[in-house]
Amino acid sequence: MTEIDADAALRLAALQGQSWIDEAVAGRIAAGADAAVAAVTEALANEPAGLAACSVGSFLATLEALAGVER
């Protein structure tokens, strides 16, 4: 799998107007972003049905539906 590397982070940041980011900072940003994206990929791999049935707006409703009866 292709990693997010410092060069990619530098280009993406520049596209978004963040010209202050240098190579050293880009390297650290890349490491953090790469780990996050890898986790998403890993979690998605465990969902053979995909995400078509889910919507972002259902999280509070899901929490409420899963609330139990307090002791």
Partner 1 sequence: MTDWTLAEAAKAVSTRCITSRELVEACLDLVSAWQPVSNAFAAVDADGARFAADQVDRAVAAGKPLGRLAGVPLAHKDMYFRPGRRSAMGSRAAPPATGAPSTVLERLDAESAIELGTLNMAEFALGPTGHNTFLGDCCNPWNADHVSGGSSSGSGAAVAARTVFGSFGSDSGGSIRLPASATGVLGLKPTNGRVSCAGMMPLSSSIDVPGICARTARDVALLLGAVAGHDPRDAGTSRLPLPDYLRALESGVKGLRIGIPDNFFLDGVTSDVGRALQASLDVLASLGAVRVPVRIPAPGPLCELSRAIVYSEVAALHATWLRDHFQDYSPQVRVRAATGFAIPAPAYLQALQLRPVLLERFVRDVYARCDVLHLPTLEIPVPTRVETDVGGGEGMWAKIARMVRCTAPFNYLGLPALSVPCGFTDNGLPTSFQLVGRPFAEATLLGVAHAFESATDWHRRAPSPRA
The CA-CA-CA angle for residues 15, 39, 9, to 5°, reads 20
Residue 17 engages partner 1 in binding (rule: CB under 8 A): yes
The single residue among 1, 2, 48, 71 that binds partner 1, judged by CB under 8 A, is: 71
Contact 14, 21 (CB under 8 A): yes
The single residue among 1, 2, 48, 70 that binds partner 1, judged by CB under 8 A, is: 70
Q: How far apart are CA 7 and CA 26, in angstroms?
A: 7
* Number of helical (H) and strand (E) elements in the chain, helices listed first: 3, 0
Q: How far apart are CA 10 and CA 6, in angstroms?
A: 6
Residues 24 to 53 in contact with partner 1, rule: CB under 8 A? 25, 28-30, 32-40, 42-44, 46-47, 51
Would you tell me which residues interact with partner 1 (CB under 8 A)? 4, 8-9, 12-13, 16-21, 25, 28-30, 32-40, 42-44, 46-47, 51, 54-56, 58-60, 62-64, 66-68, 70-71
